[in-house]
Chains A and B, each alone.
Chain A
Amino acid sequence: MMDSDLVSLWLTLKLAGATTLVLILLGTPLAWWLSQRSHSNETSWLGNTLRNIVEPLVALPIVLPPTVVGFYLLLAFSPNNLPGELWQSATGTTLAFSFYGLVVGSTIYSLPFYVQPLQVAFSALQRELIEAAATLGASPLDRFFSLIVPLCRRGFIIAICLSFAHTVGEFGIVLMIGGNLPDETRVLSIALFDHVEALDYGKAHVLAGGLLGFSFVTLFLLYAVDRHWQNSTRTT
């Protein structure tokens, strides 16, 4: 592996880590809110309607080509348009061609991979358990960390692993908004694309094989952990 590929590797891990962190902070409350669908139609008509709109919005990146997201982000990041203008007046730089721009893109791109498994886990929680904890005097924060998180650990692990791996595998959006800057936006998938374009198949094989191996191992471990927990919940 070349030095520049190592830089790309580190950058990719940094991007996937930062994106996953942002998703934990933003996606967790979102998944919780989505899971709180009320079944008494009259009391929470507005909340349910909002959920009906937000739920497909969250799922959009699964079906949209990354080029759609990339194209709109390119326009949004432009200092000629409001979001890009605000960012530029605040930071003096553009969001396009920057690490932060990629974090924004990756967060959108990996959002369903974080929110959906977690939403499923939250929906499966037994409400009586949480209500019991509340009557025993546990604060909402306490209930969340000492009850909900442990009960939903399987959902959390799947959500975190999938969004991390999915960000590592991101290509289309980065290609459209990244500008191929070493140290900043040239992630592994872009470096691989460069090697192929430059007809350097030797280096391309190293990266392609590495990414394939990483993805397989991640999914293998994920399934193994999942099997283990399913068995342990069945026995307890």
Chain B
Amino acid sequence: MTSSNGWIRRQVLLAGILLSLFVHPSCYADHLRVGVAANFRSTLEKIASSFELEHHTKVEISAASTGALFAQVKNGAPFDILFAADSHRPALLESEGHTRLRRTYAYGQLVFWTPGQPANETALKQYNGTMAIANPRHAPYGKAATDTLELMQVKPSRLVYGTNIAQAFNFVRTGNAPAGLVALSLIRHLDVPAIEVWVVPAESYAPIEQQLVVLKNASSKAELFVAYIFTHVTTQLIEKSGYLAADASHHVGKGTATIARLGADR
């Protein structure tokens, strides 16, 4: 490499920086817009910040419920990637031709949480007070919660619904509901004492399969970020954050080859 080559590269870089000042952020290639379901937000923020350091690509995260994100994407929100809390709505987006890749990135884990009380199977089965869960009509953790309550024949006196799992969690955290069925990821994020938490066995509810989709008009960096999600380090982080990692054999949809290649490049 000659030094003139380096000089040219610096000039090109400078021109690029100057140009980028006049370009709307959404056209800026080195910039990913990611929509994420409430339960995965804090985990994704950690992943994104290490990705930003390694790849010099800014990741802009918007958290909302999966349903809200879905509606936004259908109506033209400029997201590159969507991390949903379920597999139903990603599949729907795919069937409507909005995506170019769909893949399972984690399985959510449901926990019984009673602040100030030891939590275990018996405590859950005997619980008969107010219980906070996510809305089972559209929130995957809410559906898992009602599955569990039915299977274990728990009869809370009152079920209060959070719009998403984070809100159900907040109902318990603020003390307004003495117990809840919430996401392990949120528990981990806040360092809740282990004794207050009982991880509900995965057989008690239909798997909370969380899928991501790369949207049709996404930046080419999107696949790079997705590949980063499936690196060993990131998978370990996801597991540590309270999820079961997605089995590598679970990938679906076209574009898997691209992922494999990008993964191998690293």
Q: Using a Cβ–Cβ cut-off of 8 Å, how many residues does chain A contribute to the interface with B?
A: 23
- Say yes or no: is A175 at the interface (Cβ < 8 Å to chain B): yes
Q: From DSSP, what is the main secondary structure of chain B's interface residues?
A: mixed
**A residues 211-227 with Cβ under 8 Å of B?**
none
A27→B135 CA distance, assembly (Å): 36
- Say yes or no: is A1 at the interface (Cβ < 8 Å to chain B): no
One of B63-71, B118-126, B195-203 contacting the partner: B63-71
**B residues 107-137 with Cβ under 8 Å of A?**
130, 132, 135, 137
Tell me, rounded to whole Å, the shortest Cβ–Cβ distance linking A126 to chain B: 50
Q: What mask results when residues 175 to 207 of chain A are scored 1 for a CB within 8 Å of chain B, else 0?
A: 111011100000000000110111100000000
Tell me, rounded to whole Å, the shortest Cβ–Cβ distance linking B54 to chain A: 35
Q: Are A198 and B176 in contact (CB under 8 A)?
A: no
One of B5-13, B27-35, B154-162 contacting the partner: B154-162
**A residues 52-109 with Cβ under 8 Å of B?**
74-75, 77-81, 84, 94, 96-97
A197 contact from B92, B130, B163, B176, Cβ within 8 A: B163
Given contacts A180-B160, A197-B137, A197-B138, contact A74 B132 (CB under 8 A): no
B175 contact from A84, A179, A181, Cβ within 8 A: A84
**B residues 170-222 with Cβ under 8 Å of A?**
170-171, 174-177
Residues of B within 8 A of A77 (CB): 176
Identify 13 residue pairs between A and B in the complex whose beta-carbon atoms are under 8 Å apart, listed by A's number.
A74-B171, A74-B176, A77-B176, A79-B176, A80-B174, A84-B176, A96-B177, A97-B177, A179-B160, A179-B177, A196-B67, A197-B138, A199-B89
Which residue numbers of B lie inside 8 Å of A, CB to CB? Answer: 65, 67-68, 70-71, 89, 92, 130, 132, 135, 137-139, 158, 160-163, 167, 170-171, 174-177
